[in-house]
């Protein structure tokens, strides 16, 4: 089991949404230090003020995770200032919410940089210290969209599929070479934060942020390989594996209403 008590925890996109809730939960469970990366100075300051006001050790850094050079620079500063990170939660992500033909090249690049490439670069910086100590836990916030196509999410879906494939391969590599290192892939359905404002789901329940954060932290503590929510998400690979594609489209897309869930999407890129 991964111990949160006494741990140094780093969360990207940790100044709002489930990132902030996970940070608070880790501190309440006894984390020694919480390190937050975010691009929003105001939200970062507010989060740090709240955590420090409660007597916790929390530190914040303005980081655009799409800027690889700055990611590397900041990661190395953190290793010098705070020492090795015990639990790395790759949480930062964006969604544009358009049909593919409506995307710009810049939107494609940034979505893949933030949602996929950044996780690899960040992990590459903090993993050597974990390997050296034979202790560490990497958590990648992917999505149920990483297992199922969904109109108006093509680039987001692509980025999350990539995260799942990379995270699963990383887990196998680490398990074959080292002890005490863990990788958890998180595949939630829509979470009720501003990021997915406007989505509609008539059958599958939208996940409450507090519930999502609680389940992710529990998965870390129990070294779960996957954390999927709600329960129906665990059945998606089974349905996709046994049903002909058109039947699957009818079940998931029409009956469950997933393929029209983004029709009224408003959201924001956080």
Task: Judge contact between 1 and 221, C-beta under 8 A.
Answer: yes
Burial of 140 (0-12, 13-18, 19+ CB in 10 A): buried
The gap between the terminal CA atoms of the chain, to the nearest Å, is 31
What band does 8 get if pLDDT is binned at 50, 70 and 90? very high
**Number of domains into which the chain is organized:** 1
Q: Would 207 be classed as within a structural domain? A: yes
Look at residue 136 and tell me whether its pLDDT is greater than 70.
yes
Residue 41: give the domain boundaries. Answer: 8-260
Q: Would 91 be classed as within a structural domain? A: yes
What number is the average pLDDT over the span 50-67? Answer: 97
- Note the pTM of the prediction, 2 decimals: 0.95
pLDDT of residue 269: 44
pLDDT of residue 264: 87
The residue annotated as part of the active site, out of 156, 190, 234, 248, is: 156
Q: Would 102 be classed as within a structural domain? A: yes
Asked if omega into 230 is within 30° of 0 (cis), the reply is yes
Q: Would 148 be classed as within a structural domain? A: yes
pLDDT of residue 232: 87
Q: Would 100 be classed as within a structural domain? A: yes
pLDDT of residue 268: 65
What number is the average pLDDT over the span 147-168? Answer: 96
Q: Would 52 be classed as within a structural domain? A: yes
CA-to-CA distance for 121 and 145, rounded, in angstroms?
22
The model's pLDDT over 176-207, given as tens digits with 9 standing for 90+, comes to: 999 999 999 999 999 998 889 898 988 899 99
Task: Judge contact between 228 and 185, C-beta under 8 A.
Answer: no
pLDDT of residue 224: 97
User: What CATH number is associated with residue 216?
Assistant: 3.40.50.720
Q: Would 125 be classed as within a structural domain? A: yes
156 is catalytic: yes
Look at residue 119 and tell me whether its pLDDT is greater than 80.
yes
Q: Would 269 be classed as within a structural domain? A: no
Look at residue 270 and tell me whether its pLDDT is greater than 60.
no
């Amino acid at each position: 089991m991964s111990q949160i008590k006494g741990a140094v925890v780093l969360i990207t996109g940790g100044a709002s949404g489930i990132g902030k809730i996970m940070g608070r939960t880790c501190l309440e469970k006894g984390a020694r230090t919480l390190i937050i990366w975010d691009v929003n100075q105001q939200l970062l300051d507010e989060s740090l003020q709240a955590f420090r006001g409660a007597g916790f050790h929390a530190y914040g850094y303005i980081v655009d995770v799409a800027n690889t050079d700055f990611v590397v620079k900041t990661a190395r500063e953190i290793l010098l200032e705070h020492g090795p990170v015990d639990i790395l939660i790759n949480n930062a992500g964006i969604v544009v919410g358009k049909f593919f033909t409506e995307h710009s090249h810049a939107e494609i690049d940034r979505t893949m940089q933030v949602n996929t490439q950044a996780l690899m670069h960040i992990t590459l910086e903090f993993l050597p210290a974990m390997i050296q100590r034979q202790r560490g836990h990497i958590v990648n916030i992917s999505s149920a969209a990483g297992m199922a196509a969904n109109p108006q999410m093509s680039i987001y879906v692509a980025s999350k599929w990539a995260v799942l494939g990379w995270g699963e391969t990383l887990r196998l590599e680490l398990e074959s070479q080292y002890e005490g290192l863990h990788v958890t892939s998180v595949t939630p359905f829509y979470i009720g934060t501003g990021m997915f404002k406007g989505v509609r789901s008539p059958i599958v329940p939208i996940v409450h942020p507090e519930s999502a954060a609680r389940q992710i932290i529990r998965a870390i503590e129990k070294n779960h390989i996957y954390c999927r929510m709600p329960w129906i998400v665990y059945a998606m690979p089974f349905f996709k594996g046994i049903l002909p594609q058109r039947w699957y489209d009818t079940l998931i897309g029409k009956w469950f209403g997933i393929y029209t869930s983004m029709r009224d999407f408003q959201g924001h890129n956080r």
